[in-house]
Structure 1
């Protein structure tokens, strides 16, 4: 059991993946109904990398701006605060998720592609099923679900042989093995990280429960959407890791979202189109 070692890392902020303070402040400002566009633009502009990304992606085919965008304020005025928030989070997520996770048998490109596809599929499901969820909320909720794997991956090596041997005949979802060997599931670590980054409770809750949506306490519907999206992407073979397809679709999530077998077939069919449409974000 590596739990003591994981505990030490989780208590040491310097050893955890970090996120720009600008991201946290932007999220805080956007939770207020009277957010000031100029103040928001000033905050975003404090981080040169995020500023450059906002301007670049605002002009991409994915976001389809109606006119050329030259500044963060123009992006906010043209695309809206929700879309710019999405761009800010995508930029921050790329910096964290675009790395190899050899222990999980994931290359950087696979992890990043899967993360974006889960986000995009979550958005598409919320629109298609008319669930009353903001598509940007669904997108951002799906984006960082796997971030806890970044932390746990570093503890695999000492137990890898035992873990692989047990995995051969293991019938339960892979997070059960994570818990056994590391004392945490990657969802629990994701929850800790998002709390550390001062993310809104809805996003924290999704990260903590996206593989067991029936346990969601804040927004079970949103968590169910991300659950279905994440399972569909894994089953399609994109971002499939050492755990394989060990987590089944939750009947609770299907009931909560009203997703049918026909819907699932339709979503599978359109995954290549989703991936093609994400080209600008995948190659940012």
Structure 2
């Protein structure tokens, strides 16, 4: 997989601001001042950040005219997430047979749910959870780059009702979770993100429970069973995983029922 990635000629390049933001998860070095300095060297992202910072979702009634204003109004964490989201989505270029807009829409929705559910888990970084959710599907994009013909066959079979991971294993010998984890490592993203992507269907591995992989599983549940969740039905909720995380089901279901509209502003992010 690593060899396929290294040989890919149309792989997205990672902006410097994104590399530093990712490294900042482990070193906690990206404060508001450093973020402003990074953005000063990327005018395109700065323009997008200020446009979104002044939107109804973020800015409210106050005019935000600079990155320093955005730090004061939004806070470092929110601004960092905004910059990270725009940097990532802006790095991926359209490729034949891949609906990039639908991909990012789903990824942003997943990220929002991972971040929301992260607040139930003490000691878990909500911004890291958001990033894991945002990146959980990057392996699908990578497969379309390195194996376009097989990717077309996979999409056709998935459209007929076949399971994606099983179909990918049949045609490729690996699936999108493994591909995504390797791409995250190739880009030198934190290992915690790579592991969460790799184990998003198996959050218990090597005798430990990965909270970020677990949050992707919760996010997938909330998206795949959205109608049932709105009706307060949780028959397919990953109960064993919740117990392993020491979550009380009654409190968790109540928290889910109180979930606000997490997807406001996604259209602005994609425009």
Kept in 2, the 8 Å contact 1:65–1:78? The answer is no
1:11 to 3, 6, 18: 6
1:145 corresponds to: 136
Is the partner of 1:157 in helix, strand or coil?
Answer: helix
Please say if 1:184 is aligned against 2:179: no
Q: Size of the alignment, in residue pairs?
A: 261
Kept in 2, the 8 Å contact 1:65–1:79? The answer is no
Kept in 1, the 8 Å contact 2:154–2:171? The answer is no
Please say if 1:207 is aligned against 2:197: yes
2:113 corresponds to: 121
Please say if 1:44 is aligned against 2:39: yes
- What is the CA RMSD across the aligned residues, in angstroms? 3.6
Kept in 1, the 8 Å contact 2:57–2:265? The answer is yes
Superposed CA deviations along residues 81-106 of structure 1, whole A, max 9, x for unmatched, are 22221011110232256747746xxx
Q: CA deviation at 1:13?
A: 5.5
Give the Cα–Cα distance (whole angstroms) in 1 for the partners of residues 84 and 207 of structure 2: 24
Please say if 1:53 is aligned against 2:53: no
Is the partner of 1:133 in helix, strand or coil?
Answer: coil
Q: Which runs of 5+ in 1 are unaligned?
A: 1-5, 238-247
Kept in 2, the 8 Å contact 1:118–1:233? The answer is yes
Superposed CA deviations along residues 158-200 of structure 1, whole A, max 9, x for unmatched, are 5866986799696xx5313312311221111111221222222
2:224 corresponds to: 234
TM-score by length of 1: 0.74
- Change in Cα spacing, 1:10 to 1:35, as seen in structure 2 (3 Å) is closer
The 5 A counterparts of 1:62-211 are 62-64=57-59, 67-96=62-91, 99=94, 102=97, 107-127=99-119, 129-154=120-145, 155=147, 157-158=149-150, 174-211=164-201
TM-score by length of 2: 0.77
Is the partner of 1:63 in helix, strand or coil?
Answer: coil
Kept in 2, the 8 Å contact 1:66–1:78? The answer is no
Give the Cα–Cα distance (whole angstroms) in 1 for the partners of residues 103 and 10 of structure 2: 21
Is the partner of 1:61 in helix, strand or coil?
Answer: coil
Give the Cα–Cα distance (whole angstroms) in 1 for the partners of residues 130 and 114 of structure 2: 6
Q: CA deviation at 1:282?
A: 4.3
